[in-house]
Chain A
Amino acid sequence: MTDSFLGKENEVLVESEKLLANSPELVTPETYAKLTADYARLLKNFSRIIRISDRNELRLQSVSDELEIEKKKLEGVAGQLAKYLPRQIYDSIFKGDQSIEIKTQRKLLTVFFSDIQGFTHISSVIQPEVLTHYMNAYFTEMSDIAAKHGGTIDKYIGDAMMVFFGDPESRGPQEDALACVRMAYEMQERLAQLHIQWQREGLQHPFITRIGINTGYCNVGNFGSHSRMAYTILGGEVNLAARIEGKCEPGGVLISHETYAQVKDFVEVSERDLLELKGIALPVKTYAVVKVSDTNRSHTSDLRIDLKGLDKMIVKPGNLSMPDRLSLVARLRDMANTLEGIKPHD
């Protein structure tokens, strides 16, 4: 409110001050009575405005309290809703970063699939209530590990789990792939512990999972109709991850060459024969994860190869001096040449 709102009141004040300063002898009971009347009106208006202001404040407070209650209700509902959505997607939507429209984009992602070996048989021999209990425990444990590593849990499909890295947040292709492989490795380690615990509880059929991982460009975004949509990923690379998972040894983690290329400095792997996969045109090179390291092990890592015609070969360069390394390289080259039918040089 500006002073001009009080133009009339200000006029009375200016006139009175002028009268007192210039001609105080002209102050009469009449002028004094007028001033008093104006003052009385001003006082009344002032008092009324204070009351209005206080009432408005009370009303605002009441509206604010109602809003707070509604906000808490909404947070409660949103919290429940969050359990049906990947956490990262939920966060993006609530921050306003993610638009709710049918729209996709291509992104380099690392995709994870897992399922429980022989689940159909397990579900036919375990009481449904018991199965529900252990499945919930299993998914809770696995989801916690996925969340710890920053994975976006796309969905649970029966006993299978689909997780991806690189969207909506990415730490770069290498870090995303590494986080995924670390997550998978930790899941298998944790499951091994859970087997012991669950067997002690009486569960006769342990949950042994297969895990497949692939890295590649996928379509990611909202798929579906305007009334019902799902934030998910699609594409050949997603299918490849699922196919690799099907070929994984129970209890293992099998990764594609594209994933291996991203994580090779941090993982110890066992190279596998080329796989012929349904729906995939060319044979696929895969690697079984043996160990995951916290530090870059590119100069010291064991080189482990398991191929047809080769029982086992583990090369440990970290233990070798440079002359020994060079000697080993020469020996391996000789072996390769021999294998190709070329006589070794002297």
Chain B
Amino acid sequence: MEKIDIAATARTPLLSFDPATGQFLLEGESYPEDTKKFYDAPLSHVYSFLEESVPSKAVFSFKLKYFNSSSAKVLMDLFLAIEESASRGNPFKIEWHYASDDDNMQELGEEFAEELDKAEFEMVAF
């Protein structure tokens, strides 16, 4: 499984994933012209990783300033897959970073956290 390193653009976030360490980062703004096309290929590797047993604690970090509805669906599916993987005993931590003056992003993180039981979810203000 290869490392993924996609640079951010005005409409798409930085997306990096290292399967060797289980470090995942999504940072920036997410409103791609074609959300499915942007996320399908890189996330297929992440989903494969989630199917397997994770050797050490994987940390999935989200540092988003803005995302549209279709990106929200991508996130919810990803959180569900993480939760399922965590239910199988794999150690996971999700870090939800938000600007301290961004109430909207804070509330969204709190809502996503409600859905997660087995995976650890941490809110990180910056």
Contact = CB atoms under 8 A, between A and B. Distances in A.
Interface of A: 1-2, 4-6, 8, 41, 44-45, 48-49, 51-53, 55-56, 59
Given A52-B69, A55-B104, A59-B104, 17 more contacts: A1-B35, A1-B69, A5-B36, A5-B73, A5-B74, A8-B77, A44-B115, A45-B73, A45-B76, A48-B72, A48-B76, A48-B111, A49-B69, A49-B72, A52-B72, A56-B66, A56-B69
A52 B70 contact: no
A49 B77 contact: no
B68 interface: yes
B47 to A, nearest CB: 12
A52 B112 CA distance: 12
A2 B36 contact: yes
Contacts of A4: 36
B92 to A, nearest CB: 19
Contacts, number: 36
Contact of A49 (B35, B66, B73, B115): B73
Interface in B32-67: 35-36, 66-67
A53 B104 CA distance: 12
Nearest to B105: A55
A249 B77 CA distance: 88
A32 B36 CA distance: 31
A296 to B, nearest CB: 60
Nearest to B114: A44
24 contacts: A1-B35, A1-B70, A1-B73, A2-B36, A4-B36, A5-B35, A5-B73, A5-B74, A6-B73, A41-B80, A45-B73, A45-B76, A48-B72, A48-B76, A48-B111, A49-B69, A49-B72, A49-B73, A51-B111, A52-B69, A55-B108, A56-B66, A56-B68, A59-B66
Interface in B84-126: 104, 108, 111, 115
Contacts of A41: 80
A234 B35 CA distance: 57
A52 B35 CA distance: 16
A45 B70 CA distance: 11
Nearest to A44: B115
A55 B72 CA distance: 12
B98 to A, nearest CB: 13
